[in-house]
Each structure stands twice: as structure tokens, then as C-alpha cells.
Structure 1
């Protein structure tokens, strides 16, 4: 903050008044003016996860690798294996791994590593491997490892250390198979037995009791969006005298950089016994404040904090937010968006009671990409990861990550006093991808219930949410996300919905298409994981009627709608429905029978990208409003901040839609989507839509059946492939043996443009890229501009998180959903 100076003030111990700050703010221009906060509300810091815990583990044991507190990455970066003559240890499965060494201060330390390298297949006379070691990107040594475990001491001087998290990078020379007889066998870089780097100083947290225990040198850091005239209320006990230093700093949410103490600091001197203090917090309502509670005790005292709350008599009320996101829900299949079947009566009623955006575009046709955009307010490309070039080729699962330094919408709301919780159903929403950031509760229990079991999904998620509501005892506003997978293929329908829509003529009952055995992102076939929705066991037929699956998809939507109707009725009975801010949307839609791509969602056409977006404002404000201007999911983050009276950050690529809900004009802006098959980008502006594709990068299965190829191309160029369903590996091998066919496919499937005028061609059937050359060039320039913005945003991401290998259980889940080819 310009012109500010850090100041230290000693604060005497005095009783703290029983005042709590309110965590509610007025819905912007949609509710009454802010009122003084009621007593008994506030930002209770100890009831939520701290943003940083400054402690020192002192030692790491290879036996417990798999805890995210110990390293960056995920548990499958390591494998436990027993090697004959060496013992059972943890071995790195990547050439490069990072260990997290939390430290309480920057000071000289000795790091002792106990390592081994029992790899097989050594050259004659070769007995050792090299491992280079860096601390916070600076080299501290190179180790020569032998087959037997040995300890290595490395000096790490004070300037190399950071308070808080420190990244210890270990890079092996190469990956080797473990010695014969190892169980299990694997290619590894080295074995890790232990790490020691100083005295252990740990913080003990109990969020349910709202307490924390600090020892000398440890600290807690919270990021807070302050209300006006804020103060910090502290209470607790200590067993020996010490000083509690409270530092006030600033966070830059654009890149996660922190300036602790820049707004000043205060010291609370504490004798043995109770602590009670009230501190004034420097004014800072325009950006995020960091509050660091740091404990020092020369006598080894322990501070037991029982209360740390940000209070204010001027805190505005804020509504609780219920964010419902239904996986694979296409707006084109909802009756409120004009579909010919009554698939969504409850959602239709929600739209009639709220604000409906007629056209909302998903920023990606795939779950992980889409939620990264929604959670971060940045386009998906900004979250692409840099993978160690010497590692095996990464799969698509590993290529994107919501970096630890991103400031997510859940973190922004939590900083303003929201109790944040999520119940998710799709396996892509997981901590390994950074999806849990900002959520104090991130419940993935429904992920473990397969789609075949209809007791999970939306029914299980709404029940879990209602149980959580029953257990809540505080009055904080909440931000609750309910993410249900039900409409995703395979469309497994319970008995009560099995005959729904059977009598209409919306779809051709006789149309059949081939079943694509083992086909992923393949055109002109029904994927086999979809077919299993109708034929759970046994051999699949060569072809099936497409109406079976079109009907089943719509039935799954109706199932979700009925569950939401019950949820809304329950919320009304509880007396909280009318005060909620409810948002209904999706991650992407589904391609049913269009553009020769069936029952999947990898294209950038409208059936996949057009998703619902409905807001039900507290008190039913602006009910019945319909907004015609097209918007995108990346707008959700700034809109939520605006609606609850929080500052909207400049770094966000989306924009607030709150003004449009009040009837204000919404200027058209470019709408962006990316992903799909091969390399694809898409931009929409002023009713025109341009899709850029380079399908040379598509999978072999996508290539040989691509919709851009004539239906008879196989008969002409590759008669051996006619009628065969081959795996991606088999096709790749076949093309390797037939380079002339591969070359011809790449020629036909190279860079390509599709331009559609959506107002006159809503189903994207007439490509005008050649006729409307000037419009095409105009939109190409827009694509290039957005790609440049994405590159800037990507540069601001932390790259401390390494891609993980996929566990067999996770791979099986993703295979069942059709994301990965079965091994």
C-alpha cells in the first residue's frame, strides 16, 4: 500500500468484549442497505483452515510419504517396495520430486538425507547413481548414491530458507528398474529412507473445537477480506510467558504473492495464564489482508488459542450461496431453454423465480478444464502444467493443474467469512489437480459410488448437504457447492424412470449406429462405455438403436430435476430458501446425435458448450428476468463477488453479470472455449463463432473416423481398417507400418477453420469460413489476443506441483466414464 509504514505497538492484556463481526453483506443493489452486524456473528478464524501453518516438522520418514503435508505432488509419485538385501523403502517414480520442508525461520541448517539407489541393469563396473539437490531452486549439492542406504549431510545456509514452505528438489540421473525380486517392481529414481533438518516445532489444530496450540517460533496465517473498522479479538491460555506478535500484511490475489507485516504489527505480551486482547486492524477494505499470529516464548511456553475472530460493528450482512453444478447438463435438453420434453420442471421453476441467462458458454468441453476456469476466473490454458521433459510422455490427466498460488472463488469467499464446503461426484475434481483450494470441507465420498449404483449421485449429495445443514451450529454464511455426475454416460436409469418419454416421436426409433468397442473420442460410433448403460454384461452387439441412449440421457436429467425439487422443498421447510443466493449451472453439455459425434462431449459445438446459467437471488429479487446477451462460465467468479458486496479483482478474465440482472445493458465480449479433439480453440462474438482446429494432434482413433474425412476414405486408402475396432495403440502401430496413410491423414486433418453465424444457423451446419473471409480473419485476431492473455496468466502460476502418476483405482473410474482407453 503506497505510503504505509510498518509499526509495532505493545498492547496490554485486557478483557475482550463479547462482540463478533458479522459475515453478511448486502446483495449488491438487490436488497436493503447494509445494517449493523448482529452480536454473535463474525469471521471466526479458528473455525476454518488457516491459509498457512508456519511450523517445522524437523524430520520426514519415508514410511509416511503419501501425506500432502510432506511433499508437492501426490502419493503415487512414490511406491513402497521391498528389495532383496536392501529392505522395504519408498522409491521415487519420477526423475524429479519435491519434498516440502516447512520451517519457522530463515537460519543455517544441516539437511541429512538417507537415500539409496538399488536399480538393476547397471553397466559393468557402475555402482552408483547421481542425485542433484536444490533448496528453493538453488543448488546445495550433488550426491553419489550406492545400492545400500547411506546418510548424506548438506549445509543449507540461512539465505536459502524461507519462513513457511520450502521446496527441496531431488533429481535423479535416470529411472532404473528395481533389482530383480523387488515387490512390487517399478522403474525408480532413488529410495528415500528419511530426511532430517532441525528441531521439530509443530502447530496443533482443532477446527471443530475452534482452537490451536502454538509453540515457540510457530505461527498461523489467515487471509481475510476485512469489513470496515475491523478489530481482532483474541482469547486463550498459555503455560509460560511469551509474546504473541500479530502482523498485518497484503496479498496480491493475481499471483499469490504476499507482503507480510507491510501494514504494521502489534505485540501482545502474555504472562502465564489467560489471554484476552482486542487489537485494531489497519484499514484495508479494497484488497486481501494477511493476519499472521506468531508465538515466541524463550521459556518454551505453549499458547492455547481459543478464539481469534475478526469483528466489526459495520460489517454488512452477506447471503449464503448454494452453487449447484450438474455434470454434462446441456441447456439444449432443458425445457426452460426450449427443449421438446419436460425434462426440468423444478429447474424451470427456479428460472421463473430468478434470473435466466439465455446463452451461457462453457470454457471447455471437459470437466477439469471447465471447473478450473470457474474456480479461478481464468481461461483453461492458464492452468497448463510444465512437465519434466525427461519424464515419460504425460497423459491428458496430468497436463493441467489449479496451481497452489491461484486465488480461487472459494478462497475469496472464505476470506470474507464464508463457511466453504463442496460435495463432488466427478473423479476429476480432486486435490491432486488443486480443486479443493478454499474449501474447508471437500467431500468426495460420492466419487466412490459408481454410476451403476443409483443410490449415489444427486440423491446422495443432497442428503449429505442436508445432513451438514443439520449439524451446523454457527451463523456464518456458507458457500456450498453440490456437483452431481448423474447425466454423464453411461446413462444408467433407475426403474421408476425407465418408461419416461417412451411414447413421443422426438427421436427416430429405428436409427442405428455401430458400437465402438474400445473407442475413445471416436466419430460415427456409440462408445462402448455408453452402450454398457443398456448392456451391462456380456458381448456388445455390433450396432444399437440410438434412441435408447437419447431417451436415457433425458431421463437422467429428469432424475436430477426431481432430486432438486425435493431439495428446494426441504430448504423452504427449513425457512432458509428465500434468503439463499442459488446458482444453477453445469461444466459442459453433451453431444447426442449431432456432428457425427455421439453421446460424449469432446467437440466445441453448441450441444456441448451451451450450458444453463440461472441465479435465484435472495428474496426473489429480479424474478422472471431473462438476459439475452451471451455470457460464459468464467464470469461466475466475479459475479458472485459482486453480488455479495465484495471487490471484483482486475486479474479475472470474466466479468460481473450483476448489472445485467438489474436490467443494465451488457456489452458483447468474446466468449472463449478450448480443448476438444486434437488442438482446438473457439471464440464467439456478436453472433459469430469461429472454431480453429488442428486434428493432426488428435488421437489415432479420432483420426481414422474423423467427421472431416469422407465416409468411404477407408475403402480407398486403408481397406484393412474397414469394419475393425482397434485400440489407439493398435491404430498407431498400423499407421507406423503405413506411413503413406498417416501422411495423407495429416494432410487432410491439418489446420482448419469453421465459421458459423449462430443467429441464422443455430445448429452449426453451414461453414462460412471461406465465404466470410474478413469475419474469419477478425476472429482469428481475437483468438491470438486471448492466447497471449493465457500465456501471461500461465506465467503467474506456481510450478511447485508435479504431475502425478495415476493410481489403478482412479484409472478404472476414468475408464468407466469413457475418458481413457482401457488397458
Structure 2
């Protein structure tokens, strides 16, 4: 890979062939790379497939953290978590929305009730219109209970499914709407469509979906779509009952959970299709770029757990990244990229200079078929010996005494700091507090089961020696910012999370 450090001015177009007036960024919570058909032929996600077929697929895109608050500072502010203020928010960062709004571009952001993407952590900054839908939980005791205990919805789905299916058939409708829009998919969809209809070009629209996050409660029709035959909501009932009661997750339950997860992917895919239809209806599809990414992945016991606890293996860090840009067809890009490339890429497409504070580089050259830029720096093909490798993608997490500790760590002081570094083939993970190291060669060990750092050969030791300074530098930066942030927080007093936000975080499993 090579890098291109040049950045177009606001008057420059990103390509002679590309005309982009608007950018739509679609992020999907907990979306594994192998959950969509551009990366796995056994999957079915026709809308995302359509984006990939006409655009660019990044085969090695990596998140910078294992869960939303550790990943989104890169996605919307092109900075590592903790790097600006020492906390998990973007309050003191220059966000993509702020940079674009300053340049006169209309901005809209709609988040499907992920409590970590709210004003408490600075995410509305720069958006002309922003709605996190957290307060849509409702004030009734019934609404709050369902918000905090979404597994109960599985039972409601089962009881109501036959009646709803009959009613839908009598009305000539499909049963694609869940009994309760707990994931806020339709709220987000309606708000995004309204923004497109009401906004003059140019605009930036960000939409975040939560359907693929636990507890996986898709509409019954999508369960049937990804299942073999007549099975449906009883799978949801059985799987949720066992996991909510803490019972052993055997092969049957794991298979059902995977089925439910894939059904939620289909549900999101269909919603994205309706969003793209709204671009067509507004007459702006031909000059609108669409970027799609997972904010992190999801584990199905590859390393002993479910969901996305504090780990840095590929099932959580390797994510889809697809770009469909009018006039540009980059095909498939092999080189590794981090999600911190999203802000400079979106700005580049809209002819806006990137913020100096941003860490990532624009992927526009790769969208046009050129080599993707490295994270920072350029491969030196003229140097003696092997090419100088591109800088790796760095990801972090914080782990308490137990992997499944509640509350899940969200500050550097909540546990040990884990930092990983990835290039095209290697994954290095270090517990920098305990000095424990892991190394995996992904081409020969794609599920990362054999830790080569235990007894490395000469080549493996060379890889470790190359990654260690990267990890050490990153850890030092975070510790400096973390200490400063803790001191500032102690002086001003911690701001409490409000009741609605706490209910949504509890619904997501973050007590």
C-alpha cells in the first residue's frame, strides 16, 4: 500500500469521474465481517451486496475497540478513545460533523438509542439535527421495564406472532415490523428519510442501527428467511430463555443465537434498502456517496463468551467497510485500514479539508482503484531489504478482574489496558499492565487460537519487536490523557447519567 498525503481543497472534486454532493454514513452496531454477503457467500444481505458490487470493499478493515464507546471516537472524530480528554466521549474532539458544518454542509445524525452515542458524551456536536431516541423509552412503568428487559420481548413476539401474521395477510402487508420497535429502527429510518426530504444539498447524514446488538429480537419474517423451513419465534424464545437464565449455551442454543443474529442483519439490510429508496425518491441518489461500517463485531464463543466483552480478537475487531461512491469503483482493497479513516474520507468526498487533529487518512485514492493509504506513513519500496511495513491499526480495550465484569469497564482506571496492533497478516495483543503478550498469524490461524508469542521463532519475534513500540507509544499516550482526565473529573465532580440513559444502557447489558 502507498499513502497519498495530499488533500483537496473545498473547490476540488475527489475525482474527475466522481460527483459527490452528499455523504450518507451507515454504521451497524455489532456487525461481524462474516455476517454480510460481500465477505461471506453463505450470507444474504442483498442491499449491502448492491453497495459492494458498485463500489469498494475493504477486506481488512479494523475497529479501534471492542465496543461502541471504544470505537466511535475513531468513526466520528478520527481519534483513539481516551486520546483527547481521557474519557470515552468526543466532547473535546473535532468531530466530522463539526468540520462539515463549519464548511456549510447540512448535518443530520440519528442513533437508534445507543446510550453511549448521546449528548452525555458529546456526540450531537456539529449536527444541525440530532436524535438519539433514548427518551423514546417512554415514561410509563411498562415502557421502562421493556426498555431495561428486552428479552421479555421474545415472549411477546411469540404470543403475538400468529395474530400479527394473520392481520398482516388480511391487510396485504408484510410482517416486517416487530411488536415493539425496541431497536428504534423505524424511528431512525423515518427521521433519516425526513432529513433527506427536507434538506437541500449538500448534506452529511449519519445513521446508526442497533438491531444486530444483543438481545437479537428481529421480526419473525426475517427469522424464517434465514432458517430452514417453519422455525421462527420459538427459536428466539428458547435461546433468550437459556441465556437470560444463565444456563449453559450448547450447540443448539448457539445455533439459534446465530440464526437470530443473521435475522437481525437481514432486518437492517432491508431498512438500509428503504433508506436508499428515499435517496432515489428525493432525486439525490446519483450524487450521494454511501459509506457502511460495523462499529465492532460480535463473539459467538470463539474465545469462550457471547456478545462483545473486553477482548481484541478478530470476531470483535475485523468489521465490514463498504463504500459506494458515484463514479468510483475500487473493487476489493486488500490493505489494512482503520475506521479512523472514515472522517477524512467523508470530508475528502465533500471537498472539505480534514481537521489537523484527525489521525486517519482519506481512502478516496483507494475508492478510485489506487492503493489504500496506510494508517500513517508510506511503504518505502525503494529501501534496501524488505519494504517498510505500513503502520498497523491499533485497537484498545480495558478489562477488569473478570472478562464479564459488571459494570463493564469504561475508563482506564477500571482494569488492565489491552492494546492490539494489526497489519495485513499479523495480530499482536498485549496486556500492557501485566506484560502478557499474544501473537497470531491470521492466514494460518484465522480464529486466533495458537498464541505464537509463547515460543516465537525468529520471524515471529521480529513481528513482536516491530509491534511492541507501537503498542508502548499508544499506551503511554492514553495513560497521560487518562491521568489528566481523572484529575479534572475529580475537581469538577462526575456528571451523573440520567434515568432514561441508564435504562437504555441497562437494556444493552451495560449496568
TM-score normalised by L of structure 1: 0.47
Q: Cα deviation per residue 1:560-587 (whole Å; 9 max; x = unaligned)?
A: 0011122222322332111101111121
In the aligned structure 2, how far is the partner of 1:424 from the partner of 1:444? 5
1:47 corresponds in structure 2 to: none
2:187 corresponds in structure 1 to: 460
1:514 corresponds in structure 2 to: none
In the aligned structure 2, how far is the partner of 1:792 from the partner of 1:339? 45
In the aligned structure 2, how far is the partner of 1:672 from the partner of 1:768? 19
Q: Cα deviation per residue 1:394-451 (whole Å; 9 max; x = unaligned)?
A: xxxxx433233x2111110001111111111111111111111111211122663546
1:347 corresponds in structure 2 to: 48
Are residue 595 (structure 1) and residue 317 (structure 2) matched?
no
Query: What does 1:782-797 correspond to in 2, within 5 Å?
Result: 782-790=470-478
Report if aligned partners of 1:360, 1:611 keep a CA contact under 8 Å in 2.
Answer: yes
1:677 corresponds in structure 2 to: 399
The match for 2:70 among 357, 363, 369 is 369
Secondary structure of the equivalent of 2:241?
Answer: coil
Q: Cα deviation per residue 1:137-157 (whole Å; 9 max; x = unaligned)?
A: xxxxxxxxxxxxxxxxxxxxx
Deviation, structure 1 residue 624: 5.6
1:413 corresponds in structure 2 to: 100
> Residues 542 and 760 of structure 1: is their aligned pair in 2 closer, same or farther, counting only changes over 3 Å?
closer
Are residue 546 (structure 1) and residue 237 (structure 2) matched?
no
The match for 1:768 among 449, 452, 460 is 452
In the aligned structure 2, how far is the partner of 1:650 from the partner of 1:590? 33
> Residues 805 and 650 of structure 1: is their aligned pair in 2 closer, same or farther, counting only changes over 3 Å?
closer
Deviation, structure 1 residue 796: 10
Report if aligned partners of 2:422, 2:428 keep a CA contact under 8 Å in 1.
Answer: yes
Report if aligned partners of 1:497, 1:555 keep a CA contact under 8 Å in 2.
Answer: yes
Deviation, structure 1 residue 756: 0.6
Are residue 28 (structure 1) and residue 22 (structure 2) matched?
no
1:121 corresponds in structure 2 to: none
Deviation, structure 1 residue 27: 3.5
> Residues 421 and 656 of structure 1: is their aligned pair in 2 closer, same or farther, counting only changes over 3 Å?
same
The match for 1:664 among 370, 373, 388 is 370
Deviation, structure 1 residue 346: 0.6
> Residues 537 and 543 of structure 1: is their aligned pair in 2 closer, same or farther, counting only changes over 3 Å?
closer
Deviation, structure 1 residue 541: 5.1
Report if aligned partners of 2:107, 2:205 keep a CA contact under 8 Å in 1.
Answer: yes
1:779 corresponds in structure 2 to: 467
> Residues 533 and 813 of structure 1: is their aligned pair in 2 closer, same or farther, counting only changes over 3 Å?
farther
Report if aligned partners of 1:454, 1:494 keep a CA contact under 8 Å in 2.
Answer: no
Deviation, structure 1 residue 622: 2.2
2:343 corresponds in structure 1 to: 637
2:88 corresponds in structure 1 to: 400
2:411 corresponds in structure 1 to: none
In the aligned structure 2, how far is the partner of 1:328 from the partner of 1:609? 10
2:3 corresponds in structure 1 to: none
The answer for unaligned runs of 5 or more in structure 2 is 1-8, 138-146, 154-179, 230-234, 375-389, 401-416
In the aligned structure 1, how far is the partner of 2:476 from the partner of 2:432? 19
Are residue 495 (structure 1) and residue 220 (structure 2) matched?
yes
1:626 corresponds in structure 2 to: 332
The match for 1:564 among 265, 272, 275 is 272
Q: Cα deviation per residue 1:337-369 (whole Å; 9 max; x = unaligned)?
A: 125222x11101111111111111000111112
Query: What does 1:283-298 correspond to in 2, within 5 Å?
Result: none
In the aligned structure 2, how far is the partner of 1:375 from the partner of 1:326? 14
Report if aligned partners of 2:421, 2:427 keep a CA contact under 8 Å in 1.
Answer: yes
Query: What does 1:263-278 correspond to in 2, within 5 Å?
Result: none
Report if aligned partners of 2:426, 2:440 keep a CA contact under 8 Å in 1.
Answer: yes
In the aligned structure 2, how far is the partner of 1:409 from the partner of 1:437? 9
Are residue 818 (structure 1) and residue 506 (structure 2) matched?
no
In the aligned structure 2, how far is the partner of 1:26 from the partner of 1:532? 56
In the aligned structure 2, how far is the partner of 1:538 from the partner of 1:324? 30
**Larger RCO, structure (CA 8 Å, separation 6 or more):** 2
> Residues 401 and 662 of structure 1: is their aligned pair in 2 closer, same or farther, counting only changes over 3 Å?
same
Count of aligned positions: 417
In the aligned structure 2, how far is the partner of 1:569 from the partner of 1:411? 27
Deviation, structure 1 residue 470: 3.0
Secondary structure of the equivalent of 1:575?
Answer: coil
Report if aligned partners of 1:674, 1:680 keep a CA contact under 8 Å in 2.
Answer: yes
In the aligned structure 1, how far is the partner of 2:135 from the partner of 2:41? 30
Q: Cα deviation per residue 1:64-91 (whole Å; 9 max; x = unaligned)?
A: xxxxxxxxxxxxxxxxxxxxxxxxxxxx
> Residues 783 and 755 of structure 1: is their aligned pair in 2 closer, same or farther, counting only changes over 3 Å?
same
Report if aligned partners of 2:216, 2:264 keep a CA contact under 8 Å in 1.
Answer: yes
In the aligned structure 1, how far is the partner of 2:110 from the partner of 2:238? 27
Structure (1/2) with the larger helix percentage: 2
In the aligned structure 1, how far is the partner of 2:210 from the partner of 2:16? 32
Alignment RMSD:
3.1
In the aligned structure 1, how far is the partner of 2:244 from the partner of 2:476? 50
> Residues 665 and 595 of structure 1: is their aligned pair in 2 closer, same or farther, counting only changes over 3 Å?
same
Deviation, structure 1 residue 378: 1.3
In the aligned structure 2, how far is the partner of 1:795 from the partner of 1:414? 32
Tell me which structure has the larger Cα radius of gyration. 1
Report if aligned partners of 1:25, 1:319 keep a CA contact under 8 Å in 2.
Answer: no
2:163 corresponds in structure 1 to: none
Are residue 687 (structure 1) and residue 416 (structure 2) matched?
no
Secondary structure of the equivalent of 1:582?
Answer: strand
Deviation, structure 1 residue 677: 2.9
> Residues 802 and 477 of structure 1: is their aligned pair in 2 closer, same or farther, counting only changes over 3 Å?
farther
Report if aligned partners of 1:490, 1:531 keep a CA contact under 8 Å in 2.
Answer: no
1:88 corresponds in structure 2 to: none
Q: Cα deviation per residue 1:668-707 (whole Å; 9 max; x = unaligned)?
A: 3210100153421101134211001268xxxxxxxxxxxx
> Residues 543 and 756 of structure 1: is their aligned pair in 2 closer, same or farther, counting only changes over 3 Å?
closer
In the aligned structure 1, how far is the partner of 2:447 from the partner of 2:248? 29
Deviation, structure 1 residue 537: 12
In the aligned structure 2, how far is the partner of 1:664 from the partner of 1:537? 46
> Residues 755 and 455 of structure 1: is their aligned pair in 2 closer, same or farther, counting only changes over 3 Å?
closer
Secondary structure of the equivalent of 2:83?
Answer: helix
The answer for unaligned runs of 5 or more in structure 1 is 1-22, 33-316, 386-398, 505-509, 511-529, 696-749
Query: What does 1:458-537 correspond to in 2, within 5 Å?
Result: 458-472=185-199, 475-503=200-228, 534-535=240-241
Deviation, structure 1 residue 325: 0.7
> Residues 415 and 593 of structure 1: is their aligned pair in 2 closer, same or farther, counting only changes over 3 Å?
same
The match for 2:38 among 333, 336, 358 is 336
In the aligned structure 2, how far is the partner of 1:335 from the partner of 1:783? 33
Secondary structure of the equivalent of 2:15?
Answer: coil
Secondary structure of the equivalent of 1:680?
Answer: strand
Report if aligned partners of 2:276, 2:285 keep a CA contact under 8 Å in 1.
Answer: yes
Q: Cα deviation per residue 1:305-361 (whole Å; 9 max; x = unaligned)?
A: xxxxxxxxxxxx96111111111111121111125222x111011111111111110
In the aligned structure 1, how far is the partner of 2:367 from the partner of 2:272? 23
> Residues 603 and 447 of structure 1: is their aligned pair in 2 closer, same or farther, counting only changes over 3 Å?
farther
